[in-house]
Structure 1
Amino acid sequence: MSLTYDLYVDQDGAEVLQESATEEQPLTFLYGAGQMLPRFEENLSALSTGDTYDFRLTAEDAYGIYDEEAVANLPLEMFNESGVPEIGTVIPLQDNNGNRFQGQVVSVTEDSVIVDLNHPMAGQELHFKGNILNVRPATPEELSHGHAHGADGHHAH
């Protein structure tokens, strides 16, 4: 599925454009492969090429409620090689089970870096508007790889 979208979030009572995908650079994804938010896909399931859409996802259906507890204190020694990150930087992290995730640096103290592990859009209702550019069956190669290869089913090199 290939589509354009504008994603709006509420900031101080006004809808602000957060990100977009254009006809020149559309979002192309393999439907049902788990790459997209499940509720996002549900809202697109009955649409065909040429259709437009306009829907909202609650925070619960998008990136979850903001969790005040999802903040980590990382020892400053962790950053001896890479250097202490600046506040606002998003850094890649990994837990003891090898799961990868990202955290945003919220403050730096004498001995630790404090990182917010919430998704940047946690706690926000998302408003999507856009057009369906192309709906086509996935190729066997795409199905085996678990992702789409562009509008015509081939890798762009």
Structure 2
Amino acid sequence: MKIAANQVVALAYELSIMNDTDEWQMVETVGEDQPMYFIQGMSGLPESFEDKINGLAVGESFDFTLSPEEGYGDYDMEAVAELPIDIFKVDGEVQEDMLQVGNMIPMTNEDGHRLMGQVVEVNREFVLMDFNHPLAGRKMHFKGSVINVRPATEEELDHGHVHGDGGVEH
């Protein structure tokens, strides 16, 4: 079976990014023993990533690079926001354990959309948050292989994620 829309895909891969000194830096390794599972076309991965693996079969390999534009876009300084520390209070207390530099915090924007922000800086009045994807502005190199491909179940398609091995248990 080949990778196509609405197929559950399991991949093993290595991800390297181009760092600030123009050298490749390995940032993630996903082995065959615990592959990454997702539904093709519903993964939230960059569309270009899914395009590059589309049509591959179990046992086939891939080796490609995505530009920032093909990946998570350019780094956007407007996605960095200074927020009043008061919005991080629960029962009148600032949640200091949550507000550690580097922590990822789920937040909701004014339209009710959920997004993740990374704590960049904390002071008495404000928290500097970065809402860029951690890989925004980075050239990414993927090298790996297809471990498994199967049709997604109706329930998986309805829920938008993989169930069972490598997926979500309800």
TM over 0.5: yes
Aligned to 2:131: 117
Match of 2:161 among 123, 147, 153: 147
After superposition, the Cα gap between the structure-2 partners of 1:88 and 1:155, relative to the gap in structure 1 and judged at 3 Å, is closer
Aligned to 1:83: 95
Structure 1 residues 125-134 or 28-37, which shifts more? Answer: 28-37
State yes or no: 1:106 paired with 2:120.
yes
Q: Aligned partners of 2:111 and 2:148: how far apart in 1?
A: 39
Q: What secondary structure is seen at the aligned counterpart in 2 of 1:41?
A: helix
SS at match of 1:69: helix
What is the RMSD of the two structures over their aligned residues, measured on CA atoms? 2.0
Give, in whole Å, the separation in 2 of the partners of 1:98 and 1:156: 26
Query: Would you say 1:20 and 2:35 are equivalent positions?
Result: no
Superposed CA offset, 1:6-34 (max 9, x none) = 11001222211111211111011111124
CA contact (8 A) 1:91 1:105 kept: yes
Matching of residue 45 in structure 1 with residue 59 in structure 2 = no
Asked whether the equivalents of residues 161 and 168 of structure 2 are also in contact (C-alpha less than 8 Å), the reply is: no
1:43 is aligned with what amino acid?
Answer: K
1:10 to 15, 18, 33: 18
Aligned pair in 2 of structure 1 residues 110, 143: CA closer, same or farther (>3 Å)?
Answer: closer
Identical aligned residues as a percent: 41
- Structure 2 SS opposite 1:105: strand
Partner secondary structure for residue 135 of structure 1: strand
Gaps of 5+ in 1: none
TM-score by length of 1: 0.89
Indicate how the Cα distance of structure 1 residues 10 and 20 shifts in structure 2: closer, same or farther if over 3 A, else same.
same
**Distance in 2 of aligned mates of 1:156 and 1:92:** 22
Instruction: State the shift of 1:65 in Å.
Output: 0.3
